[in-house]
């Protein structure tokens, strides 16, 4: 084998091994701590490189489907792909009904309401001298009445209400049962309907 095929083999094996090892380590860490831990799953790169290696070295083409079926990154990506596409469509610009913008201190928030009762809330922080998140997104469902909109996040942990005040001004209230503090709070923010 020449150097190129050796490099292609090493490159092709690296990504499936990283996916497999990180999946095992993430499962151990999640079981040990009781918290969510994400694995590093890199789809397609390993199987593409290994397919190239098989074709260059003249190995049996029967190994190509085996390589693709056994790559955890690719399999898990293809497993969640329908959900990713569905979520992207739910909050796409084609389903957009209303948009609200707010600014508070060094933070900005944009709330978009979409067809079939879905919303997307994006918060952005301008940090010049401090550390912390720069941006965060939240998806969920909403219910609308004539003077208020109730937002419930997809994981059910955050519940907020927008109350209509003036012509295009809405005031956000975080839930009373669990006050969200710090950078997560949007309590008393004034949202302008666009």
The pLDDT tens digits for 34-92 are 888 889 999 999 999 999 999 999 999 999 999 999 999 999 999 999 999 999 999 99
Residues 84 and 100 in one domain: no
Mean pLDDT of 18-40: 91
Select from 64, 90, 116 the last residue of a domain.
Answer: 90
Residues 49 and 29 in one domain: yes
Answer for the pair 108, 123: CB distance below 8 angstroms, yes or no. yes
* Gyration radius of the chain over CA positions: 23
Is residue 180 scored above 80 in pLDDT?
Answer: no
Residues 84 and 98 in one domain: no
Q: Report the CATH number that the domain containing residue 137 is assigned in CATH.
A: 2.40.128.300
Q: Could you tell me the CA-to-CA distances from 10 to 6, 52, 56, 144, 172 in Å, in that order? A: 6, 12, 14, 55, 54
Residue 101 per-residue DSSP state = E
Task: Please tell me the total count of domains within the chain.
Answer: 2
Categorize the per-residue pLDDT at 107 as very low, low, confident or very high, splitting at 50, 70 and 90: confident
Residues 107 and 189 in one domain: yes
Q: Which domain holds residue 73?
A: 3-90
Categorize the per-residue pLDDT at 166 as very low, low, confident or very high, splitting at 50, 70 and 90: confident
Average pLDDT, the chain: 88
Residues 60 and 106 in one domain: no
């Amino acid at each position: 084998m020449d150097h190129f095929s050796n490099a292609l083999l090493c490159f092709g094996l690296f990504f499936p091994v990283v996916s497999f090892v990180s999946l095992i380590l993430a499962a151990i860490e999640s079981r040990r701590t009781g918290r969510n831990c994400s694995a590093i799953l890199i789809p397609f790169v390993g199987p593409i490189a290994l397919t190239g290696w098989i074709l260059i070295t003249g190995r049996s083409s029967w190994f190509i489907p085996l390589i693709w079926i056994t790559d955890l990154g690719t399999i898990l990506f293809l497993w969640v792909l329908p959900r990713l596409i569905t979520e992207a469509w739910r909050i796409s610009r084609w389903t957009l009904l209303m948009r609200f913008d707010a600014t508070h201190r060094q933070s900005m928030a944009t709330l978009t309401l979409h067809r079939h009762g879905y919303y997307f809330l994006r918060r952005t922080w301008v940090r010049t001298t401090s550390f912390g998140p720069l941006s965060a997104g939240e998806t969920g469902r909403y219910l609308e009445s004539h003077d208020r909109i109730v937002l419930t996040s997809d994981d059910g942990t955050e519940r907020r209400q927008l109350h209509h005040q003036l012509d295009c001004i809405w005031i956000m209230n975080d839930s009373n049962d669990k006050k969200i503090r710090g950078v997560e709070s949007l309590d008393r923010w004034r949202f302008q309907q666009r």
